[in-house]
Amino acid sequence: RNEQLVVVELSGIINSDFLTKCQGTCKILDIDSEQPMMQVGRYVFAGEYDDALGTCVLFEEGQSSGEY
């Protein structure tokens, strides 16, 4: 199974409190098109694919074991 991570940068009029209330739920529409869309609550964003320059580092929150 091939898996890809996609980093999404939202810009426009959107409140960070609204995103917190949505708890990460979103719909991706036309993902294979040149202009995919993402719906978050009542907001719809039209996008485009662009290769990252450099390295993208993604972090995931988790329980701390207290050890490093």
Tell me the per-residue pLDDT of 10-19, one tens digit each, with 9 for 90 and over.
Answer: 777 677 777 7
How much is the pLDDT for 66? Answer: 67
Q: Which residues of 26-55 are buried (b: 16+ CB within 10 A; e: fewer)?
A: eeeeeeeeeebebebeebebebeeeeeeee
- At 37, the pLDDT band (50, 70, 90 cuts) reads very high
Q: Where are the domains of the chain?
A: 1-54
Q: Mean pLDDT for the chain?
A: 81
Predicted TM-score (pTM) of this structure: 0.60
How much is the pLDDT for 68? Answer: 61
In the chain, helix, strand, coil percent, each to 5?
Answer: 10, 15, 75
How much is the pLDDT for 35? Answer: 92
What letter represents residue 30's amino acid?
D
